[in-house]
Amino acid sequence: MKKKIKLFSSALAIGMLLGAAVPAITGANTPATSVQAKDKNSRIESVKNTTNSRNNRAVPVNITASDVTIDADTGRITDFTNAEKAALLLAGGELVIPKSITKDSQNIPITGIADAQSKEGGPGYELGVFDQAYLSYLTDKNGPGISKITFEEPNHIRYIGEYAFWGNQLTKLTLPVATEIGEGAFANNQLTTLNLPAATEIGEGAFGGNQLTTLNLPETTEIGKEAFRENALISINLNKDVNVNPFAFTNQDISHEVMPNKDGEIGFAALKPTLLKRTDDQIKAVSRVAFDGEESIELENGVTLQADNDNKKITGASHPVQYSAGLDMDLESEGPLPGDYSISSYSLTVNPFKENPGGNGGLPGNGNSGNDTDTNPDTGNGGGNDGNETKPQPVPKPEERRPHTVYAKRGMRLHRNVSLTSPIRSYKKQSRAKAASFRVRGIAYDRNGKKRYKVDGGYITAGSSYVADSHFRSNKVRQVRVLSNRVNSYKDVKLSSNKKVRSYKKGTKLRVKRVVNWGRATRFELTNGRYITGNKQLLIMDQK
């Protein structure tokens, strides 16, 4: 029996495939984002909205015997104590770990990083050896954290312990022989590329809160709870015998870039995430798409996208300039998906149609490579690339029109900073009429190009699975029903108090003539010539 998995959506563009085999982990100079940790709230509060100078090259910080404690029996670094070097790392430095360390005339090859441990006078939760929160504790300073790690002998590194590199700003990770990655080890970084060809065990929350789009774990037999939660995974390839714990792949924030065919059509097959256990495709098809719950959407550039669910395609996508739109999506699968795979947002970036020599420009999903806009994917075969360069940051979108207000569609938080790492207040999921409402004062982007709304008191996500425009925009609305007793009709579109005509009780149905734009809000002109608000929290579309 086919089971439908409900997914939600909205924001950026799909990126890197698996990385070239290189002895380095790299990062961009940006603040940290969301996390998974033993004491989640405390760890989140430890990451402030810090900035780092945009140096083209990170300052190398070489580790020596006097900087660390090492277990001579295991070869694992158990502690890091040099506050001066910690400050350099905290500010975005490159951590250089040598092949070996000499202690008491004994040369000890370094084989890994030990587990987190409690610190006397520390914050009350265990800290990893190069954990951003530990670097901050050691220096009594704040900063974005380590931007790059180089192991001088990566073929010796077999173990990375709990929270070892939590909360830094690494973007690439290649560990050719590592077999075990501990709980939270690389959580809350900015990893886009991951290469772990020998890893057999991935701990709980090990890679939560990163930006991975593609995952290939050929030898892994155990994946912990929430191990890859809150990434951007659209392609996952697993060992057929792997045990995947609950929530390992929940809340993926997907961005996908496609090109329509010459008729402005995008096939559903081009949108489908790939979730494989070797040759077994867990996701069978995209069965339905929508735009904020509706089958069509009119964008500000004049494009009207239509979901043709019967013929499994989106139509009307042609435009000479690249643009983006958020999707809602139903996926079909045979049985539950491993790790509770789900999508929190899906943003589709549509490129202008171009003829493809040797092809037909291709309806995406028909096997024609013409719709793949990644012209230089990192396939992991080297390609003459040493893999040490930093991935270019997406260019923020230009200033765009913003809604007047938005309402919360699910549980969410208000944050102090645009990176959404410093929560001020939480909001529970409620019915549309009672949901939290936010006045949008502006649009902002974090360092990774993710869109946020500047609202009274802070910042919130602009993801369409979390918030929705509070005002109706479609001229297809012909009748609405009152959700509360706060709806009045007026003689003027301004809704002036001295022009009030009457009030309507909850449940009253009103016939609509048209939608009228009023600043960033909307009004409904009724068939009797009166005007009412166009607020979705006060009205619901009723076509019956």
pLDDT at 544: 60
pLDDT at 25: 53
First to last CA, the chain: 33
pLDDT at 356: 62
Looking at per-residue pLDDT, the higher value among 277 and 81 belongs to 81
Looking at per-residue pLDDT, the higher value among 27 and 220 belongs to 220
* CA distances in angstroms from 130 to 38, 58, 165, 407, listed in the order given: 16, 16, 5, 39
* CA distances in angstroms from 356 to 43, 318, 319, 363, 374, listed in the order given: 49, 16, 17, 11, 14
The mean per-residue pLDDT over the stretch 438-459 comes to 88
Domain boundaries defined on the chain: 258-267+285-334+344-373, 405-469, 479-541
pLDDT at 374: 34
* Contact by Cβ (8 Å): 161, 182: yes
Confidence of residue 402 (pLDDT cuts 50, 70, 90): confident
- The CATH code belonging to domain 479-541 is 2.30.30
pLDDT at 400: 61
pLDDT at 226: 93
Averaged pLDDT of the chain: 81
pLDDT at 33: 33
Confidence of residue 17 (pLDDT cuts 50, 70, 90): very low
- Residue 350's SS3 state is strand
pLDDT at 54: 42
Q: 70-75: which pairs have CB atoms within 8 A and are 24 or more residues apart?
A: 70/101, 70/103, 70/108, 70/110, 71/114, 72/103, 72/106, 72/108, 74/111, 74/112, 74/114, 74/159, 75/108, 75/109, 75/110, 75/111, 75/112, 75/156
The Cα–Cα gap between 432 and 409 comes to 7
Alpha helices, DSSP H, located in 148-285: none
Each residue's pLDDT tens digit, 359-383: 333 343 433 333 333 333 333 333 3
Looking at per-residue pLDDT, the higher value among 422 and 6 belongs to 422
The mean per-residue pLDDT over the stretch 342-360 comes to 75
Query: Is the pLDDT reported for residue 478 higher than 90?
Result: no
Query: Is the pLDDT reported for residue 358 higher than 70?
Result: no
Query: What pTM was estimated for this model as a whole?
Result: 0.61
What's the token pair of residue 103? Answer: 């202690």
The mean per-residue pLDDT over the stretch 144-163 comes to 96
Nearest to 205 by CA among 178, 232, 187: 187
The mean per-residue pLDDT over the stretch 34-57 comes to 40
Confidence of residue 205 (pLDDT cuts 50, 70, 90): very high
Query: Is the pLDDT reported for residue 20 higher than 70?
Result: no
pLDDT at 212: 96
The Cα–Cα gap between 136 and 106 comes to 31
pLDDT at 387: 35
Phi, psi of 140, rounded to the nearest 5 degrees? 60, 35
Tokens 């958020």 correspond to 326
The angle, 0 to 180 degrees and rounded to 10, between the axes of the packed helices 132-139 and 83-90 is 130
The Cα–Cα gap between 403 and 449 comes to 19
The mean per-residue pLDDT over the stretch 234-256 comes to 91
The Cα–Cα gap between 49 and 43 comes to 13
Contacting residues for 56 by C-beta, under 8 A, at least 6 apart: none
The mean per-residue pLDDT over the stretch 341-361 comes to 74
The mean per-residue pLDDT over the stretch 233-253 comes to 92
Nearest to 468 by CA among 422, 437, 499: 437
Which of 31-40, 220-229, 301-310, 525-534 has the lowest average pLDDT? 31-40
pLDDT at 337: 87
Each residue's pLDDT tens digit, 88-139: 999 999 999 999 999 889 999 999 999 999 887 767 678 999 999 899 999 9
Query: Is the pLDDT reported for residue 157 higher than 80?
Result: yes
Query: Is the pLDDT reported for residue 42 higher than 50?
Result: no
The percentage of the chain sitting over the pLDDT mark of 70, rounded to a whole number, equals 80
